[in-house]
Amino acid sequence: MIHKVAHGTIFPREDGKIIDEHFGVLNTQQDDFSLAHMMAPPAWREPAQLAQFDEVVIVVQGTLLVEADGQRVEVQSGESALIGKGTLVTYSNASQEQRCEYWSLCMPAFRPERTAMQA
């Protein structure tokens, strides 16, 4: 079976980040995994989150800063990182001038109720 997605569905956000989900609960109504194209504006940062899914990020352009377990890892264009389920993690765009473009694969699929934002 082949399931082609011609375009994704934008996950609504208020912080300037664009999440264009190609596969997942929002666009294809599947729960085993989600795949989304992300575009984070310059200086974007989200609150720490504790996710109940494994997440692989693959950076296409710019630098994604991933902070977890006392580490600060810069994931550059062409690089990828795995953030394990149950990790308290903070994502941000490492640049104050350029956007960061990346893909996110979550297993099981991203759902807001599977992510607890931390203060």
Token readout for 99 is: 């956007």
Domain range summary for the chain, segments of one domain joined by +: 18-106
Fold (topology level) of 18-106: Jelly Rolls (2.60.120)
The amino acid present at 43, given as its one-letter code, is A
Residue-by-residue pLDDT tens, the chain, 119 positions: 999 998 899 988 889 999 999 999 989 999 999 999 999 999 999 999 999 999 999 999 999 999 998 999 999 999 999 999 999 999 999 999 999 999 999 999 999 889 987 76
- Kindly report the pTM of this predicted structure: 0.93
Q: Which residues contact residue 71 at a Cβ distance below 8 angstroms, ignoring those fewer than 6 apart? A: none
Q: Which residues contact residue 117 at a Cβ distance below 8 angstroms, ignoring those fewer than 6 apart? A: 47, 48, 49
